Chains A and B, each alone.
Chain A
């Protein structure tokens, strides 16, 4: 069959099961868009390539399957970079296809020419510059294989315009790209892990996004329940264990509940599953779990010993490990340890003031949670609101919570929510955001309106870059600079201008009722929730400090420096 490079790309993407692609066309990708028009793939026109990248990420994070975004050469490619880098740090299977200037013009500083291959090397699992239409037969399936295999991640494919236009005779299409079989765990390692767990007095399970990627939530829960082991999660591990589960102790690290971090100090065995010991989780590494032997399971061998040397490191699929381990783990009620956990939980709980008031951070989050069921998908942007949601939203299932963890990209939330809604159109998608973050990809409100996605933007509006303001207050002697927005846009009017319903809780005497009305009306909307500029996220571990040294709502007994203590004591709460 005679075809073109561009048509070959869309055919191969269809064969990989791709139904929706987000992107923006341009000069160097016009042949691709001509082929896309003739394909069965739906194209979602974003308003900025970063939006397209995060829409694809939303699809990928919500489903666990690779998703695709398109950009043109030059600025199209550079605009995609943030979304690609974000996918790398959070292990999201994203496939970015970019147009490139014709091969004969590469290296001439042609119009909209940039070295996309070179730019994407450090932020992808792998990347390709396709040099002939024939290469596409290998590259496209291989890109999917790479994105899905082992630890998932992004792949970039740069396709010069003449390669898109080239005609090629294809006899047979290649097999679909699929994930390589994961490394199997060694029976010896399982026996050693089981022995450590069975012998431990105060074990703790420390789980991350790897549990969700491996679809290992149920296996995790079984193991935890069998051996009565408390579970803590990283930011990206939230949802892998239901928040309400009695063994679940919440998020670990910088904004964890004090009891959670204190218990990690005491544990004698840390079973770390699909985590990478990120600094926001560990705090000062030397002081993280100082009494514990560490069993670290990860599918990426380079994570074992990268930050913390494990007593036992296992390179394997964590679902496989949990299944194999289960029969070797002795049932144990662990009364003493669990009583201690309960005591510390009661003595140092997470404090969530204002849950009754929808105009306070925890109140807005809890009211929203009460208005949706567990099918709802929750995205966030990055900042204070993200931490409040991570602390207080009752996540019930894996892939319910989509947030930018590693890169911490403001602007993630809205386009990721659009992507999640495209992947699960029957569900409600909540995007918790802040006024700083929302402005970073505000243009995607137009995409949300056009696609009529069921996305509810809950804007916790404090007129600040709140987490910057908080750090200036706590760690820079209250010397605020560049963290306040002196011009405060009318977000409700802006949303209406984009053709989206808007609700402003400032304008009503019954904010809870207005919030309910917003959430119960299908289609995209924005809810402006004015919150106090002074509201801070507590507790907080100062950057670089040990997790035990948390600044708390109450007068802090163990902050790191005198200056910090003075500032903390003079807070306005």
Chain B
């Protein structure tokens, strides 16, 4: 959880951006990614960095789940280590910025 991770090409117009505030400890990423895998939710991109004093991290996700977005958010909120989840369309710029390093 100490590094920036980015997978697959940046979501262009499609997909919603979610901002998660999580406890920063080994395993949080497994919890979040595992949830997506086992519930069959499509994640297009992930950016994650520790924030403030390092006890918390922020995970930005691009997800292609228009119809199931509310269900996805509710499932994320059930994770004990996820402290907050909300939609953050303004954070799409983060993916555009990171994309430059990957191409």
Contacts and interface: CB of A to CB of B under 8 A. Distances in A.
Interface of A: 117-118, 121-122, 125-126, 129, 146, 300-302, 304-306
Given A118-B30, A121-B31, A122-B38, A300 B78 contact: yes
B34 A301 contact: no
Interface in B53-95: 70-71, 74-75, 77-81
The 3 A-B pairs of least Cβ separation, nearest first, read A302-B74, A126-B80, A301-B74
Contacts of A125: 78, 80
A125 B81 CA distance: 11
Contacts of A305: 70-71
A117 B27 contact: yes
Given A126-B81, A302-B71, A304-B74, 11 more contacts: A121-B27, A122-B38, A125-B78, A126-B80, A129-B27, A301-B77, A302-B75, A302-B78, A305-B70, A305-B71, A306-B71
10 contacts: A118-B30, A121-B31, A121-B34, A125-B78, A126-B81, A129-B26, A146-B80, A301-B74, A302-B71, A302-B77
A117 B30 CA distance: 10
Contacts, number: 29
A290 B75 CA distance: 27
Contacts of B78: 125, 300, 302
A237 B18 CA distance: 36
- Chain B interface mostly: helix
Interface of B: 26-27, 30-31, 34, 38, 70-71, 74-75, 77-81
B71 A122 contact: no
A455 B68 CA distance: 46
Contacts of B81: 126
Given A129-B27, A146-B80, A122 B74 contact: no
A301 B73 CA distance: 10
Contacts of B77: 301-302
Contacts of B30: 118, 121
Contacts of A122: 34, 38
Nearest to B33: A121
Contacts of A306: 71
A125 to B, nearest CB: 7
Contacts of B38: 122
A126 B30 CA distance: 12
A454 B31 CA distance: 41
Contacts of A117: 27
Nearest to A149: B80
Contacts of B34: 121-122
B2 to A, nearest CB: 16
Contacts of A304: 74
